[in-house]
A and B are shown apart, each in its own frame.
Chain A
């Protein structure tokens, strides 16, 4: 016990004396938490719109006004013909063209229907999909407006229509920050857990101090615990800082208990630190361990459901996410913070992470040898 206490003291002193580590540990998460959630927004705004209006009537002007005033589009080009409008897309001036054919108003009034044409630049798939959907929504809405104007006197619809009203639960305003902040927090804790811990051990290898420790009667578990606990503490500190930022900067107050988050984070960190430890038993230089943990955490983060929903991934990729501890933590963070889930609701995730923790740590301890040969 005395030895473990001393090992922890030594580790913390070393971390404290390394100004780079302190800076990276505390400034990096703050900046990421303050910038990323504001910047990484799934809502597409400022779509550059090109209009080819060949009708020039009140109806066509109304439609254009409605689209522009929605806030999603910026009217960037107003051409007389479609080829001219297309030119604007080619020059990257616009992302989307709405063509209003001649006699648009007349056709609507006389024949009760009129075609419109929408062309989207699909180089950025997300932007194209969202832009197309937005404009369709607006046009449908416009269509509805005209209908109510014209068919006012009828008491019932000639054709039955199904109207869908949606309500967004747990995040009623569809606020992306509420959704992103917990995820980014997980990413940060993961980085500290895996790469900081593995780098620290590999540094002892590089400096040769591990030789000295290996000839000493110190036990393997003591050494490993001496390495795990300080980084476990650091990661929980960063988590606390992140939760404070979430609360006071973004006003995100978890519906569930903070204790639930901390209990889960503790188990999660055991798994992630075990992974870091495992990497360190294989890497010989800090460069190797950095590159490998960079690769691993990148895959973990991209396949975690932080940026793209797991449900929209192909089946084989969904299988991979089941072996990704990060995806469980992101899921749990969102569940606890937005939905107010309790420990009972996340018992499946807890079991999965205990599995990861046992797996990584056992492998690491088996692979860490005080002697070689």
Chain B
């Protein structure tokens, strides 16, 4: 839960991703920035307002969508939206343009109670509610966790459209594949920032060649590769293992030699391009 020595700046109008495993401190960071939690030390400001001193202004200017769906299950779609508009001292009509595109998708169900909506629609409603007061900064805490692939894709498309309207978006996610959709990402682990950069730069920083290996006895293979003094790291990645060597020379021969020693069948070795997850694994090791 604790955050330690975190410092970063988000540009106006960018999608800033905070990527990290469960328990890395993403939610705590968001709660501090949205004035829900007081940090023990350090300072932060959102949209030019200090989170401790000017918390009242911040509450007028940010939209926050917590990880857990938290709208009133027993109020209808429209009533929820009206409620959140009212507590932010505005009305649906006033900022309808901003939510129009998203709201139109759930409008056919506007008399339905929020508790009876599907996961994807709840997500859209929650986003509408977080947007209804036209925030300048939007905090989305794991918005796509537990949402199906199609809804996730749609959700990100909505974020791009919001970005086009000049809203700064901070989004946290445990999914590495979503990192490449952000303008810049911060990798966070155990409360510390590992790296902040654009997704492509983070990948570019990964200098060592990366190999993917597969064979018939994957578990045995991984243990053997991990124990080899020449290999820096080996971790499962879908159907294959990703392997990084300590030194770069002759790695393919070495890898083939190693697999032959262990009498594996159906061995397949090929060089691959690193993804953001590989970078994260490498950064975690350091």
Contact = CB atoms under 8 A, between A and B. Distances in A.
Q: Do A and B make up one complex? A: yes
Interface of A: 2-3, 6-7, 10, 13-14, 17-18, 207-209, 211-218, 370-373
B36 A372 contact: yes
A211 B74 contact: no
Contacts of A214: 36
Contacts of A211: 36, 64, 66, 70
Contact of A6 (B35, B64, B83): B83
Contacts of B79: 10, 13
A217 B57 CA distance: 8
A208 B74 contact: no
Nearest to B88: A216
Interface residues of B, number: 32
B38 to A, nearest CB: 3
10 contacts: A7-B87, A207-B70, A212-B84, A214-B36, A215-B59, A215-B64, A216-B88, A217-B60, A370-B35, A372-B38
B162 interface: no
Q: Quick one: which of B36, B38, B71, B87 has the most chain A CB within 10 A? A: B87
B86 A2 contact: yes
List 4 A-B pairs, minimum CB-CB distance, nearest first.
Answer: A208-B70, A373-B38, A6-B86, A216-B87
Interface string B16-47: 00000000000000001011111110000000
B66 to A, nearest CB: 5
Nearest to B70: A208
Interface string B61-98: 01010101111111100010011101111000000000
Interface of B: 32, 34-40, 55-56, 59-60, 62, 64, 66, 68-75, 79, 82-84, 86-89, 129
Contact of B73 (A6, A13, A207, A218): A207
A18 B115 CA distance: 13
Interface of A is mostly: helix
A216 B35 CA distance: 10
B74 A10 contact: no
Nearest to B133: A216
Contacts of A207: 70, 72-73
A15 to B, nearest CB: 10
B16 to A, nearest CB: 19
Contacts of B34: 215
Nearest to A209: B70
B35 A215 contact: yes
A150 to B, nearest CB: 80
A2 B38 CA distance: 30
B37 A217 contact: no
A216 B84 CA distance: 8
A7 B89 CA distance: 12
B242 to A, nearest CB: 37
Nearest to B64: A215
Nearest to B61: A217
Contacts of B60: 217
A209 B83 CA distance: 12
A215 B37 CA distance: 11
